[in-house]
Amino acid sequence: MKVIKLEKKKLIPFLQFISQERELWAPVKKNDRIIYDLIEDFTCIDMNTTRTLLPPKKVIIPQQFNMFRVTGLGYESDYSHAVKKILFGIHPCDIHGLLILDKLFMQDHPDPYYIEARRNTLILGLSCWPDEHCFARSTNTHIIREGFDLFFTDLEHSYLVWVGSSAGDDLIKLKPEFFEQKPTDQDIQDFTYMQIERDTSYKTKINFISMPDLMELKYNETFWEKMGRACLGCGSCSMVCPTCNCYNVIDRHLISEETGERRRYWDSCTLCEYSEVAEGVNFRKNCADRLRLWYTHKMQAFISKYGKASCVGCGRCLLTCPVDINVLTVSKSLQGKDVYAYWNRLPREASDDKSSK
């Protein structure tokens, strides 16, 4: 793969230049949170964030969008969410997240809404440094060798730029004078030291190897019921997960006109109505059953089909779940370890109150 070099101060001018005909989405601070957003002021881009609130899947498949415009004549496909975009500042684990979504949406019965947005989005990755919640080392998603058009590795004064695709190479060609064609020996040495230090900086570790079997063997363990009693059924875990793909479809009828829309929304299997069918029959009324489904998908089903967990170690669920139900506490419970978590400390009486509602 071609590797070139860019002086730090030239990055923003470069991004400005290449986004003249495309939207540029990157991490920025908004209302005290770091989120991916459409960039208007390029100086606001947060180059040093560890993670964004929502994963970059929202740039490809927005939380809600139109699938069809409905008129008296029938259904008309609407791909207006799939405008040309550049997604900048995406970290290796999140690129792995997109690669997992690619498997779900682009193989067997491909989904045109995902494919259109994906092929109209250029991926410009950026290196990162783990905090205490990252465990991408354990999921082997801390480094990335595919799935990007350009990847910028931060070396203090400059970036090493990996050119991952022909489209990425075309971007470079828009401003070739910005780049130095060859990294120096010193750059290579700095890069090597950085890699080693970063590798050893992952403090949170999870052993995924035995997870599919443990999911099977510990399916009826009492910790699931404990988690189920604490679970708020809020769906936040799915919203922040880079690999959650479930969606709901709702038609909207516009009474003023003879038209309507068929819209697609992010959904979560931890929400109560997720498995409900006609006449109020619900195949998963119980929170514990819904949590088991979530973790069966991530840590058993996906591994059986694709040989790796549907988890990229981004740590978002660790920071988001209000009652500490997350990949770390669930995997520890599966491994029979003692877990310090809200759901495990919840007194019995309080939980009985909740279930009687």
Partner 1 sequence: MINQASKTAAIENPFLPEPARIVRSYHLIEGVKFFQIRIVDIEKALSFRYLPGQFVMLSILGIGEAPFSISSTPSRPGMLEFCIRDVGRVTNALFALKENSIIGIRGPYGNGFPVETMQNKNLIIISGGLGVAPLRSVLLYSLDNRDLFKDVTFLYGAKRPYEMIFRDEFLRLSKRDDVECLLTVDHDDTGTWTEKTGVVTSLFKYLAEIEPGETYAMVCGPPVMYKYVIDELLKFKIPKHQILMTLERRMKCGIGKCGHCAIDYIYTCIDGPVFSYWDVIHMRELI
26-33 CB contacts, 8 Å cutoff, 24+ apart: 26/87, 26/88, 26/89, 27/52, 27/89
How many C-beta atoms lie closer than 10 Å to residue 254's C-beta? Answer: 10
86 contacts partner 1 (rule: CB under 8 A): no
Reference 200, options 96, 146, 129; nearest CA is: 129
- Least Å from the CB of residue 242 to partner 1: 15
Q: Which helix (H) or strand (E) holds 227?
A: helix 222-230
Q: Where are the beta strands (DSSP E) in 219-295?
A: 247-254, 259-266
Of residues 254 through 313, those in contact with partner 1 by CB under 8 A are 254, 259-260, 262, 267, 269, 274-279, 281, 283-284, 289, 293, 296-297, 300-301, 304-305
- Least Å from the CB of residue 104 to partner 1: 7
251 contacts partner 1 (rule: CB under 8 A): yes
How many C-beta atoms lie closer than 10 Å to residue 38's C-beta? Answer: 11
165 contacts partner 1 (rule: CB under 8 A): no
234 contacts partner 1 (rule: CB under 8 A): no
Q: What is the DSSP letter of 300?
A: I
Stretch that binds partner 1, among 115-123, 156-164, 181-189, 195-203 (CB under 8 A): 115-123
Of residues 47 through 66, those in contact with partner 1 by CB under 8 A are none
Residue with tokens 């080693």: 196
Stretch that binds partner 1, among 38-46, 67-75, 192-200, 227-235 (CB under 8 A): 67-75
- Least Å from the CB of residue 162 to partner 1: 26
35 contacts partner 1 (rule: CB under 8 A): no
Phi-psi region of 156 (alpha: psi -120 to 50; beta: other; left: phi over 0): left
Give 209 or 277: the residue with its C-beta nearer to partner 1. Answer: 277
Q: Which of 121, 139, 153, 245 binds partner 1 (CB under 8 A)?
A: 245
User: CB under 8 Å to 63, separation ≥6 — which residues?
Assistant: 239, 265, 266
Residue 255 tokens read as 């009474």
Q: Which of 12, 44, 83, 232 binds partner 1 (CB under 8 A)?
A: 83
246 contacts partner 1 (rule: CB under 8 A): yes
In the sheet where 247-254 sits, what is the strand order? Answer: 74-77, 64-71, 259-266, 247-254
User: CB under 8 Å to 59, separation ≥6 — which residues?
Assistant: 25, 36, 85, 87, 121
Stretch that binds partner 1, among 112-120, 141-149, 151-159, 176-184 (CB under 8 A): 112-120
- Least Å from the CB of residue 110 to partner 1: 6
120 contacts partner 1 (rule: CB under 8 A): yes
Give 153 or 268: the residue with its C-beta nearer to partner 1. Answer: 268
Residue 153 tokens read as 């590795």
Chain residues in the site for partner 1 (CB under 8 A): 20-23, 67-68, 70, 72, 74-75, 77, 79-84, 104-105, 108-113, 115-116, 119-120, 219, 245-254, 259-260, 262, 267, 269, 274-279, 281, 283-284, 289, 293, 296-297, 300-301, 304-305
